[in-house]
């Protein structure tokens, strides 16, 4: 894509109420637009990141047998009343609205009840189970304060998978498989080195859950980490008893701030029972389905990547989710090097590379370099009169540059 | 995909309040789930159709210079008040909600105002224009009655593109380009033969607009069609004057019922002026941007395809948007033909075909054929003891069958 054609511009104007680094950098670089606190539009560069993250998640969920669906935002209060989660006293972050035809509707803040209800039409026998169903869809949470940028939004895309199993053992087997898939996802999006499976409280559904925590000074959670074992414990369940159960020694643990990027837990039979989702076992007896929940917030994941991969000049995108692999900068106004840069742009895109091509004539070299650093593509390639026939290549994450011929550049980036 | 693994089942139970044929067939075949009137979940088969339709639209919008973004549902009332569209007396189908932190929010029923506002941060000079920006995102319309299935929903995905031009001529050039792209889209999704560019009223924004109308007995619009010229006039502007302007003769026109599957029109400078979106021309003078709107509802498009492509046994999907190309039916319980069907499944998927494989053991041949007809994949391939080494191939849209060897089948479907 040519930067001269892209409609977004980098900016120095950040909304005064935006204190989170992730949102500040993403707004500055033109990846997102702030509509109101906790509500962000994805602009072309941000949408490319979002789609790449979504596809990585999708691939890993499909690989463990996930079937993708797309549920609705508008929700019937009756479905939520069945498990007593419609009342604002019980769930305090509902957005609700009214139908012109009469009656209320809710904006889905999660989808356990509607999915359990939907499945009563499709799951009848032990032969129909187990099933693993997921979606990548918007959730709405009426947060009193939304001040962590994309990390705690009022409207955000979430991958939520729900498992439906016949037995605890069947549930447990999938749960561990999904935990491994989660580590793979965090690895693929570039958070592998500092993301840990973390033992945590189960909230209202079960005694314990597993979180996936990414180390970050801006994290809201405190975890106790055994770096050698690659395991951690959330402060909320940091007791002698839990450590013993997990085989962890206090002496080997370090306290760290971290951001929760994923969470998996047993839901049990609460929602299936409330919505009437049962199956007939081999003896013909009705049994409740056992449900599990597996979530990843996509905006939060992107926010975490920005929080943990940046420097004073801007974002440093991991290659797998960068909107473009190469930021090609043309530095001169005289005709022939422009033609040379055009040819390199064409050659790189022809071999399938994603190239953001800064062909803008009105910008100075300093402005172009600053934009490249702010936007954070993995490679920067510069064509100028100074470099002549060669191209100057630099990794965003490193300082040294290299002069390469066009052939050598193509061979390197291929 | 193996039907034994797919979580959805076909059903004869249709919600009592569902009168629209498109929704009835899609629910029966397990493509969608009705949450409430005008609100439908997309299940795995339906989501595959939705994604194919979305990708066709995306390709054609990108081809004419569209840049994709993803805007939010939650909207700031201030933005809508700027052009006087917040008031329920002016826009009567708002869904509104309240922030816990105080104040109202709207659920986007369209995105002119928020996009014009967003662009004030990126468009400053004549050099920044023209721009063509689109999204595929959910709209919410608080319809008093929602009774046409997916064709008039309360929550639905829409592709909305907005053009931002400097001059009327520049606007007009893109407008015609987009009209051609629309015809291409309708052709690619299988509606080409009965979809016509139709001259219509411009509503509150301009004198005229162009609709794209698909002939259908269940259509809510009446159009006057010149089949030879491939042009039509909506009843609402069917006057001598308009016919003369379009060079149409009353004698050549036939009255037809039709469904509006797309709509393009000039918005003018109303929203840019209300939101302060101006550009400096070459002389440095501030000028208002000229805006155009180009919409296609994805659910309505899918609903229209189902309304116009079905028979008494079920849906007949056009190949380009069918969830799978081949419905492979294994008809026997004895081991060796099952293995034979498995091998054909593997061989067809290996050459890149999308195959829905009915490997269910508990179903009768009659049930399997009925499901194949209801679900409507373009090809049905049957493996049974009766057909021996050969495979029986049939087009969903035709009655005759053919017996082919495995090699011949692969060669045919490739």
The DSSP 8-state label assigned to residue A289 in this structure reads: P
pLDDT score, position B386: 86
- Rounded to a whole number of angstroms, the distance from the CA of A235 to the nearest CA of chain B is 29
pLDDT score, position B125: 97
Structure token pair of residue B235? 């009843």
Give the integer Cα–Cα distance in Å for B105 and B153: 21
Give the integer Cα–Cα distance in Å for A191 and A318: 9
Number of other CB atoms surrounding residue A241 within 10 Å: 8
Phi-psi category of residue B294: left, alpha or beta, with phi > 0 → left and psi -120 to 50 → alpha: beta
Decide if B233 contacts B224 (C-beta within 8 A): yes
Radius of gyration of chain A measured on its C-alpha atoms? 24
Question: Which run of H or of E encompasses A116?
Answer: helix A112-119
- B254-268/B221-226 β-pairing: antiparallel
Residue A316 has pLDDT above 90, yes or no: yes
Residues 248-277, chain B, touching A (beta carbon < 8 A):
none
Q: Is the peptide bond before B386 cis (omega within 30 degrees of 0)?
A: no
For residue range A144-171, what is the model confidence (pLDDT) as tens digits? Answer: 988 899 999 999 999 999 999 999 999 9
pLDDT score, position A337: 66
Q: Which of A309, A123, A65 is nearest to B7 (CA)?
A: A123
Residue A20 contacts by C-beta under 8 Å, 6 or more apart in sequence? A147, A148, A149, A150, A151, A218, A303
Structure token pair of residue A411? 């061979």
Looking at 3.40.50.800, 3.40.50.620, 3.90.79.10, 3.40.50.1370, the CATH number of the domain B324-413 comes to: 3.40.50.800
- Say if the Cβ atoms of A69 and B41 lie within 8 Å: yes
Identify the burial level of B67 via C-beta atoms within 10 angstroms of its C-beta, where 0-12 means exposed, 13-18 middle and 19 or more buried.
buried
What architecture (CATH level 2) is domain A21-311?
2-Layer Sandwich (3.30)
In terms of CA atoms, which chain B residue is nearest residue A102?
B144
Average pLDDT value for residue range A180-202: 96
Average pLDDT value for residue range A289-310: 98
| Torsion sign (Cα): B269, B270, B275, B276 | positive
Residue bearing tokens 């009848």 = A124
A200: three-class secondary structure by DSSP: strand
- Say if the Cβ atoms of B42 and A70 lie within 8 Å: yes
Give the integer Cα–Cα distance in Å for A409 and B235: 61
Residue bearing tokens 């002496």 = A251
In terms of CA atoms, which chain B residue is nearest residue A129?
B7
Give the integer Cα–Cα distance in Å for A196 and A224: 10
Residue bearing tokens 């994941």 = A301
In terms of CA atoms, which chain B residue is nearest residue A1?
B67
- The angle at the Cα of A282, spanning A281 to A286, to the nearest 5 degrees, equals 25
Decide if A342 contacts A350 (C-beta within 8 A): no
Structure token pair of residue A385? 């009169």
Nearest-10 Cα torsion for A255, A256, A259, A260: -30
The number of residues making up chain A comes to 414
A204: three-class secondary structure by DSSP: coil
**B82-89 CB contacts, 8 Å cutoff, 24+ apart:** B82/B113, B82/B117, B82/B274, B82/B275, B83/B112, B83/B113, B83/B270, B83/B271, B83/B274, B83/B275, B84/B274, B85/B113
Q: How many CB pairs under 8 A join A and B?
A: 150
In terms of CA atoms, which chain A residue is nearest residue B114?
A35
Q: Is the peptide bond before B130 cis (omega within 30 degrees of 0)?
A: yes
Give the integer Cα–Cα distance in Å for B11 and B152: 23
Decide if B113 contacts B106 (C-beta within 8 A): no
A382: three-class secondary structure by DSSP: strand
Nearest-10 Cα torsion for A359, A360, A361, A365: -90
Decide if A291 contacts A274 (C-beta within 8 A): no
B237: three-class secondary structure by DSSP: helix
Quote ipTM for the complex.
0.97
- A290-297/A155-165 β-pairing: antiparallel
The DSSP 8-state label assigned to residue A70 in this structure reads: B
Domain boundaries, chain A: 21-311, 324-413
- Say if the Cβ atoms of A69 and B37 lie within 8 Å: no
For residue range A43-66, what is the model confidence (pLDDT) as tens digits? Answer: 999 999 999 999 999 999 999 999
CB contact A39 to B (< 8 Å): yes
In terms of CA atoms, which chain A residue is nearest residue B3?
A128
Give the integer Cα–Cα distance in Å for A123 and B238: 53
- The angle at the Cα of A25, spanning A19 to A28, to the nearest 5 degrees, equals 105
Tell me, yes or no, if the two domains B21-311 and B324-413 fold the same way.
Answer: no
Average pLDDT value for residue range A338-352: 92
Residue A359 has pLDDT above 70, yes or no: yes
Task: Spell out the alpha helix ranges (H) of B142-269.
Answer: 168-188, 240-246
Residue B332 dihedral angles phi and psi, to the nearest 5° = -140, 155
- A208-215/A195-201 β-pairing: antiparallel
Q: Write down the pTM of the prediction.
A: 0.97
Give the integer Cα–Cα distance in Å for A355 and A409: 13
- The angle at the Cα of B370, spanning B367 to B193, to the nearest 5 degrees, equals 165
Residue bearing tokens 């939010």 = B72
Residue B30 contacts by C-beta under 8 Å, 6 or more apart in sequence? A122, B6, B8, B9, B10, B11, B43, B45, B375
Contacts of B41 in chain A (CB under 8 A): 69-72, 114, 118
Give the integer Cα–Cα distance in Å for B34 and B36: 6
Give the integer Cα–Cα distance in Å for B25 and B310: 9
- Rounded to a whole number of angstroms, the distance from the CA of B127 to the nearest CA of chain A is 9
Residue A334 has pLDDT above 80, yes or no: no
Contacts of A138 in chain B (CB under 8 A): 73, 138
Average pLDDT value for residue range A199-205: 82
Q: Find the largest Cα–Cα distance for chain A.
A: 82
Residue B342 contacts by C-beta under 8 Å, 6 or more apart in sequence? B359
Decide if B82 contacts B275 (C-beta within 8 A): yes
- Rounded to a whole number of angstroms, the distance from the CA of A223 to the nearest CA of chain B is 30
pLDDT score, position A386: 86
- Say if the Cβ atoms of B99 and A71 lie within 8 Å: no
Cα end-to-end span (Å), chain A: 18
Residue B317 dihedral angles phi and psi, to the nearest 5° = -75, 135
Q: What is the pLDDT tens value at each position of chain B, 414 positions in all?
A: 999 999 999 999 888 889 999 999 999 999 999 999 999 999 999 999 999 999 999 999 999 999 999 999 999 999 999 999 999 999 999 999 999 999 999 999 999 999 999 999 999 999 999 999 999 999 999 999 888 999 999 999 999 999 999 999 999 999 999 999 999 999 999 999 999 999 998 876 677 899 999 999 999 999 999 999 999 999 999 999 999 999 999 999 999 999 999 999 999 999 999 999 999 999 999 999 999 999 999 999 999 999 999 999 999 999 999 999 999 999 977 667 668 899 999 999 999 999 999 999 989 999 999 999 999 999 999 999 888 889 999 999 999 999 999 999 999 998
- Say if the Cβ atoms of B144 and A39 lie within 8 Å: no
DSSP assignment string, B78-97: HHHHTTT--STTTSTT-EEE
- The angle at the Cα of B143, spanning B140 to B146, to the nearest 5 degrees, equals 105
Contacts of B99 in chain A (CB under 8 A): 142
Decide if B257 contacts B216 (C-beta within 8 A): yes
Residue bearing tokens 């799951």 = A123
Residue B55 contacts by C-beta under 8 Å, 6 or more apart in sequence? none
Residue bearing tokens 């698909």 = B214
Q: Which of B231, B195, B143 is nearest to B307 (CA)?
A: B195
Return the exposure string of A323-342: e unless at least 16 CB atoms fall within 10 Å of the residue's CB, then b.
Answer: bbbbbbbbbbeeeebbebbb
Give the integer Cα–Cα distance in Å for B353 and B386: 25
CB contact A72 to B (< 8 Å): yes
Task: Spell out the alpha helix ranges (H) of B168-264.
Answer: 168-188, 240-246
Contacts of B67 in chain A (CB under 8 A): 5-7, 44
- Rounded to a whole number of angstroms, the distance from the CA of B322 to the nearest CA of chain A is 16
Contacts of A119 in chain B (CB under 8 A): 7
Decide if B373 contacts B10 (C-beta within 8 A): no
- Say if the Cβ atoms of B154 and A74 lie within 8 Å: yes
The DSSP 8-state label assigned to residue B320 in this structure reads: G
- The angle at the Cα of B132, spanning B80 to B298, to the nearest 5 degrees, equals 75
- Rounded to a whole number of angstroms, the distance from the CA of B404 to the nearest CA of chain A is 33
Residue bearing tokens 């000049």 = A313
For residue range A126-139, what is the model confidence (pLDDT) as tens digits? Answer: 999 999 999 999 99
Decide if B288 contacts B274 (C-beta within 8 A): no
Give the integer Cα–Cα distance in Å for A22 and A44: 17
For residue range A84-140, what is the model confidence (pLDDT) as tens digits? Answer: 999 999 999 999 999 999 999 999 999 999 999 999 999 999 999 999 999 999 999
- The angle at the Cα of A395, spanning A392 to A397, to the nearest 5 degrees, equals 145
Question: Which run of H or of E encompasses A212?
Answer: strand A208-215
């Amino acid at each position: 894509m040519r930067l001269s054609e892209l409609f977004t511009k980098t900016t120095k104007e950040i909304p005064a109420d935006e204190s989170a680094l992730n949102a500040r950098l993403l707004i500055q670089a033109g990846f997102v637009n702030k509509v109101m606190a906790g509500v962000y539009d994805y602009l072309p560069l941000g949408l490319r990141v979002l789609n790449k993250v979504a596809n990585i998640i999708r691939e890993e969920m499909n690989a463990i047998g996930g079937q993708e669906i797309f549920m609705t935002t508008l929700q019937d209060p009756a479905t939520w009343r069945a498990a007593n989660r419609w009342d604002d006293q019980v769930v305090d972050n509902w957005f609700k609205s009214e139908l012109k035809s009469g009656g209320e509707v809710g904006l889905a803040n999660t989808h356990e009840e509607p999915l359990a209800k939907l499945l009563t039409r499709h799951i009848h026998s032990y032969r129909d189970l187990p099933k693993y169903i997921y979606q990548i869809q918007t959730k709405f949470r009426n947060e009193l304060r939304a001040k962590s940028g994309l990390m705690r939004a009022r409207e955000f895309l979430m991958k939520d998978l729900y498992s439906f199993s016949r037995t605890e053992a069947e549930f447990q087997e999938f749960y561990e498989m999904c935990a491994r898939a989660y580590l793979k996802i965090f690895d693929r999006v570039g958070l592998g080195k500092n993301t840990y499976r973390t033992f945590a409280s189960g909230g209202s559904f079960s005694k314990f859950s597993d979180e996936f925590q990414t180390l970050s000074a801006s994290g809201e959670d405190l975890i106790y980490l055994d770096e050698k074992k690659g395991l951690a414990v959330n402060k909320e369940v940091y007791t002698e008893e839990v450590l013993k159960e997990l085989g962890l020694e206090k002496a080997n643990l370090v306290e760290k701030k971290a951001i929760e990027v994923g969470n998996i837990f047993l839901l049990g039979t609460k929602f299936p029972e409330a919505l009437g989702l049962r199956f007939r076992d081999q003896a013909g007896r009705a049994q409740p389905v056992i449900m599990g929940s597996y979530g990843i917030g996509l905006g939060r994941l992107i926010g975490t990547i920005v929080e943990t991969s940046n420097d004073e000049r801007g974002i440093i995108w991991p290659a797998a989710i960068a909107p473009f692999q190469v930021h090609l900068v043309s530095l001169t106004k005289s005709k022939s090097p422009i033609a040379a840069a055009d040819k390199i742009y064409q050659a790189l895109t022809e071999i399938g590379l994603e190239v953001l091509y800064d062909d803008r004539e009105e910008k100075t070299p300093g402005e172009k370099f600053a934009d490249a650093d702010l936007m954070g593509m993995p490679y920067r390639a510069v064509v100028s009169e100074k470099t002549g026939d060669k191209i100057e290549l630099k990794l965003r994450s490193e300082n040294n540059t290299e002069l390469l011929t066009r052939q050598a550049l193509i061979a390197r980036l291929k």
